[in-house]
Structure 1
Amino acid sequence: MAPFKFNFDLGHRTCDSRAADAPSVPAPLRDLPPAREEFPRQPRCSVDQVQISPEVFLLKGNVTSEAASVLTDCQEIARSDLVPGVYEGGFKLWEGATDLCKYLCEEWQYGCELMDTQEEFSQPLKGKLVLELGCGHGLPGTVALLAGAEVHFQDFNSEVLHALTSVTVAANQGTLPESSQRAKVRYFSGDFRQIPEKLIKEGLGGKYDIILTSETLYCEDTQYPLMEAIRQCLKPSGGIAYIASKTHYFGVGGGTGRFKEMVENSGVMECKTVWKASDGVSNQREILTLTFPGGSLPGGG
């Protein structure tokens, strides 16, 4: 089988099998490439359809584990969902992302219009600025984009943004009727500890109306940087963050419990559970909201 390759240069990154034995902790900040804005070109990539609800279908890019290992120059990705400090799982679609998409469609009362091709096209988030942290495929951010928001997508790995997120965005924007103005999109790569500084330099600190993130609480060591990124980027008045996560991640120790306790102890933001699911077979899943005291509650706009 011929090796998988996209026709753009993402720079050379190396990884060997020793990464599989590395502890599940973030790499030192000095060892990470700086956060930066990415400008993806459109590679050729297969696209799949994913059902969010009976009336909502979205399109998503499809990159295999083998292809991801070639893109990142890390063979371990073909056998592991996470390689600490090198790859943070962005090429895989996790169920928290689809949970959040479904919840947001209901929250924003936005359903079958997503795939409507008529002249009249509802955009309930027009004028809103949205950030999706740890975006991977970027499906929650894409829901916000189709609803009219300007959306900025962030992922640890630039390769994910170039080869996957941008494909998902372009495929779904292509479903909009010609009469609908396409909202602006930007992409940023980097660690949660670096992103706030980069966005502040871009004049975006404390400007986001909505922040979305899913399956990013799996490691306790990155929960505080995530909370800080939300705190520094979310609009103080009326801003709201939505976090979709498993209650517990077996083997790595993360989950919603520790995060909720940390937020409560910080005294800076308020954390609420707004959705839960448990099928009795897989791990229980939740959606949390973060707001500043006196800020917007779910459904409050």
Structure 2
Amino acid sequence: MEIKEKNRAAYETKEEGVLAYRIGNRVLHLAQDLSGDDTTGSTLWLSAQVLAAYVQQNGLRDRNKGRRKCLELGSGVGLVGLALAGDDTNDVLLTDVDKVVDRVLLPNVEMNGHRNAQVGVLDWHTDADSVDWKGMGMVDGSGAIEPPFDLIVSTDTLYERTLTPLLLQHIHYHLDRNAHCKALIGLERRDSTLIDEALSMMAEMGLKVQQIAHESLSRAVRDEYGWEDDEMWSGCEVYKLTKSSKRTLNSSTVDSSTQVDWQEWTDVALDDLISCLPPALSYSSIDIPCSSTQPLQPIAHRDLFDARFQLMEEDKEQGVVSGDSDLIPGRYEGGLKTWECSVDLVQHLHATGADFVNKRVMEIGCGTSLPSLYAYRQILAQPGTKNCVMHLQDYNLQTLQLVTFPNMFLTWYISHFSKDSTGEAEINEEVIALFKKHLIDDKVDLKFSYGAWKALDGDIKYDYLLTSETVYRTESIPPLVQLIQSASHDHTATLVATKGIYFGVGGGVREFSDYLASNGHSTDVVWTKEGTGVSRHILKVIL
């Protein structure tokens, strides 16, 4: 195999006039204009390198579908558009403002000699439906490539708040014109707030937003450029946008009476869950980052392969543990995966010294129940009777049977028998009898429920309501709020750990906070983390 000289990262080549850039089996020559004070559009940027590698490795597969028309918005030196033009079944229109077209874009397209590439001047301040496409071609006197387009690409174009809605209205216009069109947006996350605002705006416009997996990008730059160290392109992300038929809900459109035909809320007897335990549980631990001066020990949880093995042994359908999806509406709500916001919530509870003895605690949408495992472990560490209630709820009964209750049982088992946080727990009648005796003697009441959220009947209120990664779907926010309202008293601590935005399903901090505000309630942000990737937050609900 031929070993190609590695392309250098864009930040290492800002002072070079012409770059010899290897992509696929070609060498592109890219002129950079270093003159003047503003070189924003006239030099190569890192996110363009990442997206170019991705489309080269993954974006050129529709050969059986005939020619494909591609539009690049904010092309700059033109790397991504020229990468696409390397496939002669693509027709590519590269666009930018006039000064960038004159200084670098048109010279670069002409220098590299692709007959299937055209250049046009496109200012996003021009309404998308007013663009003169017929008069746009600037190479060899040929006419421009006209809509509808099959693919839109754009890199490093989300950097200025006033330009974001202008760019997005052009993208939305073209996605609306062709139901099969998609857009790939490459960015370098310098300002997380600005990026999250842009992503939220996309969702509000009715676009489905999907982040391309870091592993896919890593593989692309490694195979295309030989970049083995992901730190070379740290902060770069790629998102795929498509037109969604789904209406996004916000504070003015959420209808709290919306009914979803999902599994009804059902309580599960503890003995029924105990009867589902296998003869042994294989478990490992999750390390929780800790900024507190008080050490935080790893938290044990059942290995997912062990749950799968149990189902195979019992010759049962694997159902929600198949691992094919994180979310199947009405069937599986992601309960088998330990989500990163649940780790954040454990960190926050530990840092604030939360005390769960003599308390009623409910975890809503618990899944692997990491916050409850932490709370239960803290309870077990205290001497004397505990006098507490722990109520764990998830959408799926199978999740409760396979991971939620086994994880709670393991927490007691490791504490009682002073076991390591990795190993195998043997389960027999004697061990189960000891567990039940602990619950009675220490006055620990474990409750479990599954099914869709609703307002609870009765007078039972909770001191802590904990939930992680549960505001990802806007339609689920009203019943979640109803449940919180019905389970709260005046001093309930309700903590919601969430990402800033959830791609493709429309939920997030803004949607949840807006819905609460529209019902006379509010939230305080008590913890936040920004940086590369989507921002994460913990909200305290104030009723």
Query: TM-score over 0.5 for the alignment?
Result: yes
TM-aligned CA distance change 1:24 to 1:91, over 3 Å: farther
In structure 2, C-alpha distance between the alignment counterparts of 1:209 and 1:286, rounded to whole Å:
21
Counterpart CA distance in 2 for 1:226 and 1:83 is 18
Q: Deviations over 1:156-199 (max 9, x none)?
A: 00111111011111111223358994732111111113xx34xx
Which residue pairs with 1:295 in the alignment?
A: none
2:437 is aligned with 1:184: no
CA separation of 1:166/1:89 partners in 2, compared to 1, >3 Å: closer, same or farther?
A: same
TM-score, reference length from structure 2: 0.42
- Which one of the candidate residues 128, 132, 156 is aligned to 2:363? 132
Q: Which runs of 5+ in 1 are unaligned?
A: 1-21, 110-123, 293-301
Q: 1:89 to 1:23 in 2, by over 3 A?
A: farther
Gap change, CA 1:217 and 1:34, over 3 Å in 2: closer
2:263 alignment partner AA: L
Other-structure match for 2:482 = 228
3-state SS in 2 of match to 1:154: strand
| Cα distance change, pair 281–187 in 1 and its aligned pair in 2 (3 A) | same
Q: Evaluate the alpha carbon distance shift between residue 85 and residue 28 of structure 1 in structure 2; reply closer, same or farther with a 3 A threshold.
A: farther
CA distance in 2, matches of 1:257, 1:104: 23
C-alpha distance in structure 2 between counterparts of 1:176 and 1:66, whole Å: 22
C-alpha distance in 2 between matches for 1:78 and 1:224: 28
Question: Taking structure 1 as reference, are residues 217 and 153 closer, same or farther at Cα in structure 2, changes over 3 Å only?
Answer: same
Name the structure 2 match of 1:285.
536
**Equivalent-residue separation in structure 1 for 2:282 and 2:259 (angstroms):** 35
2:472 matched residue in structure 1: 218
4+ residue runs of structure 1 moved beyond 4 angstroms?
A: 22-25, 27-31, 68-73, 177-180
In the TM superposition, residue 271 of structure 1 has moved relative to its aligned partner by: 1.0
Among 268, 273, 284, the residue aligned to 1:48: 284
Residue aligned with 2:342, SS: helix
2:251 maps to which residue? none
Q: Is the 8 A contact 1:131 1:211 kept in 2?
A: yes
Give the aligned CA root-mean-square deviation in angstroms: 3.1
1:162 corresponds in structure 2 to 401
Note the C-alpha offset of 1:74.
Answer: 3.5
What SS is found at the alignment partner of 2:409?
helix
Residue 226 of structure 1 deviates from its aligned partner by 0.7
Question: d(CA) in 1 for partners of 2:392 and 2:529?
Answer: 26
Q: Which has the higher contact order (CA 8 A, sep 6+)?
A: 1
Sort the Cα spacing of 1:75 and 1:161 in 2 relative to 1 into closer, same or farther, 3 A. Answer: closer
The alignment covers a number of residue pairs equal to 247
**Structure 2: distance between partners of 1:90 and 1:175:** 23
CA distance in 1, matches of 2:472, 2:446: 27
Shift of 1:33: 4.2
Q: By how many angstroms is 1:135 displaced?
A: 0.1
2:345 to 100, 117, 122: 100
Are residues 258 and 30 of structure 1, via their aligned partners in 2, closer, same or farther at CA, if it must alter by over 3 Å?
A: closer
Partners of 1:146 and 1:182 in 2: how far apart?
Answer: 15
Give per-residue Cα distances to partners, 1:9-41, cap 9 Å, x unaligned: xxxxxxxxxxxxx9799x954552452224312
Query: Does 89-98 or 73-82 show the bigger shift?
Result: 73-82
- Asked if the contact 1:77–1:87 (Cα under 8 Å) also holds between the matched residues in 2, the reply is no
Q: In structure 2, what is the Cα distance between the partners aligned to 1:31 and 1:283?
A: 29
- Please tell me whether residue 173 in structure 1 is matched to residue 412 in structure 2: yes
TM-score (norm 1): 0.73
2:406 pairs with 1:152: no
1:82 is matched with 327
150 and 72 in structure 1: CA distance in 2 versus 1, 3 angstrom threshold: farther
1:209 aligns with 2:445: no
Aligned partner of 2:527 among 275, 287, 290: 275
Secondary structure, aligned partner of 2:284:
strand
Corresponding residue for 2:4? Answer: none
Once the 2 structures are TM-superposed, how far is the Cα of residue 238 of structure 1 from its aligned partner? 0.7
Q: 1:284 to 1:155 in 2, by over 3 A?
A: same
Q: Would the aligned equivalents of 1:211 and 1:230 in 2 still touch at CA under 8 Å?
A: yes
Q: Unaligned regions of 5+ residues in structure 2, if any?
A: 1-244, 249-257, 380-387, 418-437
> Which has more radius of gyration?
2
1:265 aligns with 2:514: no
Matched, 1:252 2:505: yes
Q: CA, structure 1 residues 264+64, in 2 after alignment: closer, same or farther (shift >3 Å)?
A: farther
Distance 2:411 2:470 in 1: 24
* Matching residue's letter, 1:187: F
Does the CA-based 8 Å contact 1:239-1:291 persist in structure 2? no
Contact 1:24–1:219 (CA<8 Å) still a contact in 2? no
Query: Once the 2 structures are TM-superposed, how far is the Cα of residue 274 of structure 1 from its aligned partner?
Result: 0.5
> For 2:470 and 2:450, how far apart are their aligned partners in 1?
15
Q: How far apart in 2 are the matches of 1:73 and 1:247?
A: 32
CA distance in 2, matches of 1:66, 1:80: 17
